Structure 1
Amino acid sequence: MRLAIRPTLTLEGAVDGLPFSEATLQRVETGNASLRQAGHLRALLARYGLDEGKAEDAGLIQELLAIQREAANEEWVADFTDAMTPRLMGKFVGIEEGARQIKAFHPLLWWGSLQTEAYARAIFAMQQPVLEAPSESVELGVQLRVRRRMFLTRSEDPVKLHAIIGEPALRHVIGGDEVMQAQFQDVIDLCASGTVTLQVLPSTGVRYRFTGDFSILDLGDELPPQVQVDTALGALAMSGKPRDVGVFTRRFEALTASALPPEETLQFVRQLTREIT
């Protein structure tokens, strides 16, 4: 499109001042990637000279935005579709990859994108006989967790995560002491990078409680936020309805107020690490 609309515009000029690199735009132009955020695509199209306020451009812009959303939701996640993967996981992970910020709560386990590979493998191996899934399913599940984790650690436009984890998640031994110790240290390192804000919800004291895990995905100004919850049957549900988003936002705010502040949380995790040593 760049060459068709503005043939003299170089890759360097196209991305100048925009929040993605020449390499990213080149992958987009060759069909090997899609821009993660609708706002990024809008900015790029404006750089190309398209104006959403003009009737002749508005239709094309909306069509390209629809293609971008569909591509972000489907492209690489299909490789991980499996019996151990909830039906809507492809849609969720596609949205997760393009989110600006995620607020997540899990009362019993570390949140998926915070899990180390060894921790994730132990969880999937534990579920394998229950779900009567083949060994290949464990590996697919683990690799999807690893891929999701990269959203937080990529050098370009990483997703910001504010996670509240129940104290039982830190106490439940998954995979053995070495796995747990590595999990603790890894989360400490992620928090030090500035990408992750972590709070622990203690088991003691009178505090706001919630029994299920959920996340709220902030997609920026161009798209409404989405709420994700896991159901009792192991399925995944999503909603962008304002009422649902409002309820879970207030729920997260109550959990934030009840949980340990981030600095106290890191002290708590470090103490658990020393206890395992």
Structure 2
Amino acid sequence: MDRGTQMAPGRHVPTVASTRLARELRSLRGQAGLSQEAVAEEMGWNESKLTRIENDKSRVLVRDVKRLLGLYKVEGDAADAMLELARLAREPDWWHQYSGAIPEWLQVYVVLEASASHIFGYESEFVPGIMQTDAYARSIMSTAPYPDTEAEIEEKIAVRAARQARLTRDDPLEAWFVLNEAVIRRMVGGRDVMREQIEHLIKLARLRNVTLQILPFASGEHGAMHGMFYLLEFAAPDDPDKVYMEQHIGGLYAQKPPEVSRYRLISDHLRAQALGPEQTIVMLRKLAEELA
């Protein structure tokens, strides 16, 4: 898909700010005790328009946010903060410059990842994108059934590097990953590429905000044998946790409490079955020495 198709004129592309704005507007309407039908009638909108705005499926003008705030009786500093958020929501996120390299279904995940406070991930086949080296990522992309062009691959690698920066900034993402032993045993890109990747994992595992565990083959059967998943948690109490599962042609999301609870239980079991963080580093160091 070319860049023009990914960023069609007029199409709303969610941003971290627009997602937060939608959540806040939905919450303020609830606090005001107003139904979507009542608000839509007052605004002169179809109810479906308000539904799209509150679910971050449609952009909203700053002047319309101001009218909504008046309807919800929001004034003073609270109103000023919401209007500033509405202005920020109109600005593209950093990754929009690479939108031609990111499928629409993955754009949603990038926004969620950027706004999450905690992430737990289980990977069964390869290193999580947010922890990949450039050479490792390039090896995977170059051997895909329908490989991208060199320019597209470089753009995707740039996106991964920007995402990985969240792990090392001043206010870092809290991340916990469990990797199947197959992830570190599979020789992606050859010995040199794989050794560099293993050493990079050791470096990341030493960060105070990152916990890494290996699920060894010897642990036998486990609750995540169906495949990878990520559990994303958010600081805002009214922003529900979500589970993300990736396939070749798209991503699946779950946020119903029973579904999230099921995956949270699976993640707890994986943590218990996997090697401890220090044992994991010992295993990675030994593998790096073998590859050398």
In the other structure, the counterpart of 2:234 is: 219
Distance in 2 (CA, whole Å) between partners of 1:261 and 1:166 is 13
Task: Tell me how far apart the structure 2 counterparts of residues 194 and 152 of structure 1 sit (CA, whole Å).
Answer: 10
Using the TM superposition, give the Cα deviation of residue 260 of structure 1 relative to its aligned residue in structure 2, in angstroms. 0.9
Q: Which residue does 1:254 correspond to in 2?
A: 269
Q: Using the alignment, how far apart are the partners of 2:172 and 2:158 within structure 1?
A: 19
Residue deviations 1:144-195, cap 9 Å, x none?
111111111112x110110000101101111111111111111111121212
Name the residue aligned to 1:93: 110
Paired residue secondary structure (2:230): strand
1:6-155 correspondence to structure 2 within 5 Å: 56-57=73-74, 60=79, 67=86, 75-82=93-100, 85-127=102-144, 130-155=145-170
One-letter amino acid of the structure 1 residue matched with residue 149 of structure 2: P
Q: Is the 8 A contact 2:17 2:85 kept in 1?
A: no
1:210 equivalenced with 2:246 (yes/no): no
Q: Which residue of 2 aligns with 1:186?
A: 200
Alpha carbons 2:219, 2:273 under 8 Å: kept? no
Residues of 2 paired with 1:69 and 1:162: CA distance? 30
CA distance in 2, matches of 1:253, 1:275: 31
Give the alignment's TM-score, normalised by structure 2: 0.69
Following superposition, the deviation at residue 56 of structure 1 comes to 3.1
Classify 1:219/1:187 alpha carbon distance in 2 versus 1 (closer, same or farther; 3 Å): same
CA contact (8 A) 1:124 1:141 kept: no
Whole-angstrom CA distance in 2 between matches of 1:238 and 1:158: 24
Q: Is there any run of 5+ residues in structure 2 with no aligned partner, and where?
A: 1-14, 25-68
Q: 1:228 aligns with which of 220, 244, 251?
A: 244
CA deviations on 1:4-29 (whole Å, 9 max, x unpaired) are xxxxxxxxxxxxxxxxxxxxxxxxxx
Shift of 1:203: 1.4
Aligned equivalent of 1:176, options 190, 209, 213:
190
TM-score, normalised to structure 1, is 0.72
**Divergent runs of 4+, >3 A:** 33-38, 58-72
Q: Which residue matches 1:11?
A: none
C-alpha distance in 2 between matches for 1:207 and 1:34: 38
Q: Tell me how far 1:143 sits from its aligned partner.
A: 1.1
**Unaligned ranges ≥5, structure 1:** 1-32, 43-51
- For the pair shown, the structure with the greater C-alpha radius of gyration is 2
SS at match of 1:133: coil
Taking structure 1 as reference, are residues 205 and 237 closer, same or farther at Cα in structure 2, changes over 3 Å only?
closer
Q: How does 1:260-275 map to 2 (within 5 A)?
A: 260-275=275-290
AA aligned to 1:246 is S
Q: How has the CA–CA distance of structure 1 residues 34 and 106 changed in structure 2, closer, same or farther, with 3 Å as cutoff? A: closer
User: In 2, distance between residues paired with 1:246 and 1:112?
Assistant: 25
Aligned pair count reads: 228
Name which of 223, 238, 242 aligns with 2:253.
238
The farther-off stretch of 162-171 and 60-69 is 60-69
- Offset at residue 132 of structure 1 (A): 4.8
The one-letter code of the counterpart of 1:251 is: I
Following the alignment from structure 1 to structure 2, what is the Cα–Cα distance between the partners of residues 109 and 200? 12
